C-alpha cells in the first residue's frame, strides 16, 4: 500500500556515495527523494516535474551550489533551497543564504540536524504557495470588482440618460398647461401643474447628480502638490454669495500641502463648506471652522459648524448616495454631495467620517495620506 510522501526533494551532490546515502535516509523518513551528481541533470529534472525543496552541495566542479540555486529558482520561484557544506565553508553557506538559500546543513550528515531544517523549509514553502494563491485571489477579486463597478456606472449613466427625454416632456407640457390653460384651471389645478413641474425639475437635478457621481468613479486622478489653504480660499470666494446678508464667523486655520488631484479635492471642500453654510442658515451667527491635525501616517482635516447637526445614530447614512437626514422643506439638496466627498477621498487613500448632535452642530472629517518625501512628477 503506497503512502503520500511528506515532500519531494531534489538532492544534488557530486559525491555519488553521499548523495545516495542521503536519498535513502530521507526516503526512510517518508520523503520522496531524487538524487543527481550533475547540476545540469538536476535542473533538467526540475523543468520536467515539480519539487518542494532542493538540497545542493555548495562546492561542485560542474556548477557551484549558489549558481544552481539561482537557476532552480528561476524555474520555480516557490522552490526552497538548502545548501550542504562542511565545517570549513560555513561562511560561504551563510553567503548562500543571502542570495536565496533558506538554511544549510553540515556534513557529515546527522539525521537529528537534517529533519528540523527540512521542516522549517517546508513551512516556508507552504507560506510562499499560500501567499501566491492569496495574491492571485486578490487580483481576481479586484478585477471582478472593477468590472462590476464599470458595469454599474454604465448602467447608472444609461438609465439616467434615458430618463431625461420623458422628464423634458413632463416639464414642458406642465409649463404649457400653466401658460395656455391657466385661466380655465382651478386654483387646485394650477397647484397641481406647478407641483408636476417642480417635481420634474427636482428629478432632473437628481439625474444630473447621479451622472456626476458615476463620472466621479471613472475620472482619472491627476496628482500634484495641492496647497489646501489656497484651495479653501478659492472655494470661499466662490460661495461668498450664499453668505451675503448673513453674520458668518469663519475660523480658518493654516492648512498643509497634500498630494492629490486638485480639481477633485476642490469639490470636497466645496461640498463641505457649502453644507456648513446651508445648515447654519437658521443661526443668528453662524460659526464655521476649518482645520487640520497631523496623525500617524495621515493628515486629518475637518469642517465644523454650529448648525442644525444630525442624530448620531444615523451618521452611517450621511455619506450614502441620495441619503438625507433633513426634510427638503428645511434644507434643499439631493444627498449626493457627501457621497462624492467619500468617493473622492477613498480614491485618494483616505477616510471620511462625521460627528454631530441634533441642533448642536456637526463636524465632518476627512483624512489624506502623508507624502512628505514625494517630489513633483512622482506618483
> Which whole number is the average pLDDT over 319-327?
56
Assign 216 a pLDDT band (cuts: 50, 70, 90). Answer: low
pLDDT at 145: 83
84/11 Cα distance (integer angstroms): 10
Assign 213 a pLDDT band (cuts: 50, 70, 90). Answer: low
pLDDT at 219: 65
> Which whole number is the average pLDDT over 1-7?
75
Angle between helices 111-180 and 187-218 (to 10 degrees): 150
Mean pLDDT lowest for which of 88-102, 149-163, 166-180, 188-202? 88-102
Any idea which residue has 537557476 for its cell?
Answer: 71
143/159 Cα distance (integer angstroms): 24
SS (H, E, C) 248-280: EEEEECCCCEEEEEHHHHHHHHHHHHHHHHHHC
> Which whole number is the average pLDDT over 10-19?
91
Cell numbers at 6, concatenated:
511528506
Residue 326 near residue 308 (C-beta atoms within 8 A): yes
Is 226's pLDDT higher than 80? yes
User: ω before 108 within 30° of 0 (cis)?
Assistant: yes
Mean pLDDT lowest for which of 117-121, 158-162, 291-295? 158-162
pLDDT at 322: 52
> Which whole number is the average pLDDT over 42-68?
89
Amino acid at each position: 500500500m503506497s503512502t503520500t510522501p511528506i515532500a519531494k526533494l531534489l538532492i544534488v551532490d557530486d559525491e555519488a556515495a553521499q548523495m545516495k546515502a542521503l536519498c535513502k535516509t530521507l526516503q526512510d523518513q517518508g520523503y520522496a527523494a531524487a538524487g543527481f551528481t550533475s547540476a545540469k541533470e538536476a535542473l533538467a529534472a526540475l523543468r520536467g516535474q515539480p519539487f518542494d525543496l532542493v538540497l545542493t552541495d555548495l562546492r561542485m566542479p560542474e556548477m557551484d551550489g549558489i549558481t544552481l540555486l539561482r537557476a532552480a529558482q528561476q524555474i520555480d520561484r516557490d522552490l526552497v533551497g538548502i545548501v550542504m557544506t562542511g565545517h570549513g565553508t560555513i561562511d560561504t553557506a551563510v553567503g548562500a543564504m543571502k542570495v536565496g538559500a533558506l538554511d544549510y546543513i553540515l556534513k557529515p550528515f546527522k539525521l537529528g540536524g537534517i529533519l528540523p531544517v527540512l521542516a522549517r523549509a517546508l513551512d516556508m514553502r507552504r507560506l510562499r504557495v499560500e501567499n501566491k494563491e492569496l495574491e492571485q485571489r486578490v487580483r481576481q477579486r479586484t478585477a471582478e470588482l472593477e468590472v462590476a463597478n464599470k458595469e454599474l456606472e454604465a448602467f447608472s449613466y444609461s438609465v439616467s440618460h434615458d430618463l431625461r427625454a420623458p422628464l423634458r416632456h413632463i416639464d414642458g407640457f406642465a409649463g404649457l398647461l400653466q401658460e395656455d390653460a391657466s385661466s380655465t384651471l382651478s386654483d387646485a389645478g394650477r397647484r397641481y401643474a406647478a407641483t408636476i413641474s417642480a417635481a420634474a425639475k427636482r428629478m432632473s437635478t437628481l439625474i444630473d447628480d447621479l451622472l456626476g457621481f458615476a463620472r466621479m468613479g471613472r475620472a482619472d486622478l491627476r496628482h500634484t502638490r495641492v496647497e489646501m489653504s489656497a484651495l479653501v480660499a478659492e472655494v470661499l470666494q466662490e460661495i461668498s454669495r450664499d453668505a451675503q446678508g448673513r453674520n458668518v464667523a469663519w475660523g480658518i486655520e493654516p492648512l498643509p500641502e497634500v498630494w492629490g488631484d486638485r480639481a477633485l479635492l476642490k469639490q470636497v471642500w466645496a461640498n463641505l463648506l457649502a453644507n456648513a453654510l446651508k445648515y447654519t442658515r437658521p443661526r443668528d451667527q453662524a460659526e464655521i471652522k476649518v482645520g487640520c491635525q497631523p496623525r500617524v501616517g495621515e493628515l486629518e482635516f475637518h469642517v465644523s459648524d454650529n448648525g442644525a447637526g444630525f442624530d448620531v445614530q444615523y451618521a452611517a447614512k450621511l455619506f450614502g448616495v441620495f441619503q438625507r437626514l433633513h426634510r427638503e422643506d428645511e434644507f434643499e439638496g439631493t444627498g449626493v454631495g457627501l457621497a462624492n466627498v467619500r468617493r473622492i477621498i477613498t480614491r485618494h487613500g483616505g477616510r471620511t467620517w462625521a460627528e454631530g448632535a441634533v441642533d448642536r452642530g456637526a463636524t465632518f472629517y476627512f483624512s489624506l495620506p502623508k507624502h512628505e518625501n514625494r517630489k513633483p512628477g512622482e506618483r
